[in-house]
């Protein structure tokens, strides 16, 4: 189990480090919102899921996409704006999707995929399927009207959905305390009758809690469940750099999160030889994915007029 967790954590971290490295060359054609530091949330949750379970993410979505099994080559090609990308090069980093892996998409508009996710969960329930939906969103999304409407509807219809609020304390540069009079996110979910719990930045604990919730939903217990996962964004809101010089947060605030790096923690739980083998495999997979993106063509100009409307 530790090996699989480490592989996923290390892979996401290294993919994003490579993205950060290459970003200044302008080969990547869209803004990038990196999850470096937040990988444990996606990995802890997605390891608890089956392949037919479904996830909806956000514009900070590289980690969820990869943790759920989204295709790496198509992801990098998408960032490069290439025709072989997972959205044919038209969506970029903020709109990753891989329906074969049940990564059902992400959006640049804060909060929107919460409503998409409950719609999907309603359909699953209606069809009496035993798949589970997971909706990922940030602490900023809980301020949106769609969050509240969705909580109510999901509770009312007892939907098979797990809500994952990735609380990194900030919406862009604004701390939760400057945006919310009551900062307890779980209380918001509880007020709609949804069981809600806060989880520390701990990938194994996350896995256990989410596994139990998923098992309960599959056994027919009424949903939804809500988890607030405490985490921290190491890089700037958007882009490859650090941003402590901006003054809205400090290196001192970040330090405990850096010290608690879950990638390093899991590395220490895997035997050295096994770890090296994992790292070698992942590095060559990443290299191949970037080579694939480099070698792929840009979309034809005729593609400008396709995928604009849904055609029957
Ligand atoms: C509806 C809407 N309002 C505002 C924005 C501008 N915006 C982009 S990201 C962001 C912050 C969201 O913070 P959070 O949900 O905590 O996610 P994080 O970036 O921390 O992962 C905002 C306000 C937007 N994209 N959509
Ligand atoms: Mg946030």
Digit-coded pLDDT (tens) for 65-99: 999 999 999 999 999 999 999 999 999 999 999 99
In the numeric block, the tokens 């999901």 are attached to: 154
Q: Reply yes or no on whether the pLDDT at 49 is more than 80.
A: yes
> 174 in ligand 1 pocket by Cβ < 6 Å?
no
Q: Answer yes or no: is the C-beta of 147 below 6 A from any ligand 1 atom.
A: no
Q: Which atom of ligand 1 is nearest to the CA of 139?
A: 16
pLDDT at 53 over 80: yes
pLDDT attached to residue 311: 73
Q: What CATH code would you report for 2-294?
A: 3.40.50.970
Residue 44: pLDDT over 80: yes
- 57 close to ligand 1 (CB < 6 Angstrom): no
In this predicted structure, the answer to whether residue 102 has a pLDDT above a threshold of 80 is: yes
Bridge partners for 197 per DSSP: 227
Mean pLDDT for the stretch of residues 201-221? 97
pLDDT at 273 over 90: yes
Alpha helices in 94-232 (DSSP H): 112-126, 145-156, 176-179, 185-190, 203-218
pLDDT confidence band for 270 (50 / 70 / 90): very high
């Amino acid at each position: 189990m530790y090996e699989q967790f480490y592989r996923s954590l290390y892979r996401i971290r290294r993919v994003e480090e490579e993205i950060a490295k290459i970003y200044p060359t302008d080969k990547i054609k869209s803004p990038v919102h990196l999850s470096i530091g937040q990988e444990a949330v996606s990995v802890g949750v997605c390891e608890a899921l089956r392949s037919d379970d479904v996830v909806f993410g956000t514009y900070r979505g590289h980690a969820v996409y990869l943790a759920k099994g989204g295709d790496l080559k198509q992801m990098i090609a998408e960032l490069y704006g290439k025709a072989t990308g997972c959205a044919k090069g038209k969506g970029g980093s903020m709109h990753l999707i891989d329906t074969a892996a049940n990564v059902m998409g992400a959006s640049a508009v804060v909060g929107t995929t919460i409503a998409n996710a409950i719609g999907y969960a309603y359909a699953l329930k209606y069809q009496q399927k035993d798949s589970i939906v997971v909706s990922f969103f940030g602490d900023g999304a809980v301020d949106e009207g769609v969050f509240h409407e969705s909580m109510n509807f999901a509770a009312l219809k007892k939907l098979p959905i797990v809500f994952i609020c990735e609380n990194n304390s900030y919406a862009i540069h604004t701390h939760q305390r400057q945006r919310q009079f009551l900062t307890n996110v779980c209380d918001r979910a509880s007020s709609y009758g949804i069981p809600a719990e806060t989880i520390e930045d701990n990938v194994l604990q996350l896995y256990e809690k989410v596994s139990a919730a998923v098992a309960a939903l599959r056994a027919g217990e009424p949903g939804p469940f809500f988890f607030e996962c405490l985490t921290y964004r190491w890089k700037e809101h958007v882009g490859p750099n650090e941003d402590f010089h901006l003054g809205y947060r400090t290196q001192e605030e970040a330090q405990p999160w850096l010290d608690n790096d879950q990638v390093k923690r899991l590395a220490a739980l895997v035997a050295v030889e096994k770890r090296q083998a994992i790292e070698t495999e992942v590095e060559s997979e990443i290299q191949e994915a970037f080579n694939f993106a480099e070698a792929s063509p840009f979309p034809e100009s005729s593609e400008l007029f396709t995928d604009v409307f849904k055609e029957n």
